[in-house]
Amino acid sequence: MRVILASASPRRRELLKYAVPEFDVIPADIDETLPGDTPAEKSAEYLAVKKARHIAELYPDSLVIGSDTVVISEGEILGKPRDEADAARMLKKLSGKTHSVITGVCAVCGTKCESFSQETRVKFYPLSDDEIAAYIATGDPMDKAGAYGIQSGGCILAESIEGDFFNVVGLPVAGLKRLLDEKFLR
């Protein structure tokens, strides 16, 4: 069976190899606007389902995997920063506090659609303005939810992680592997 990852994320591509050795990548070009009544903790799963279903419509005989990750701090969804000022705002908001990273995952094959969300809690050290500016200057935060990459330069910001590290990177591989084995690849 052909497996398709409906994501352009290089991090998801790397991680999916552990669960599915061979797959194609076809990013879902969709409107990622959330309905106004979507709870923050369900937003990643909503978008993962939307991405997977979009690509599954184009490739109905394939197993399509969609995923999305959000960072939530004090009820606010922190997506990818618009610019350096937005990245600085996000990092200041996360400084010295614990936040949630929620990744939603969806697998679709034919009429079968299964999805889940996984949460990991991350605590940041208190960050000075100089530390924030130096990290932003690396360019690392600009394409990542919450303006940091735990698997790259953002690793020096995190004091502790409670939960699945790979969930913070962008794909809860163990949970996805179990879902695929139980529901799709028996």
Is 175:164 a contact under the CB 8 Å cutoff?
yes
The reply to whether 68 belongs to the active site is: yes
> Alpha-carbon distance 149 to 9, whole Å?
12
Report the DSSP beta bridge partners of residue 113: 108
Q: Per the residue annotation, which of 68, 83, 86, 181 is the catalytic one?
A: 68
Active site residues: 68
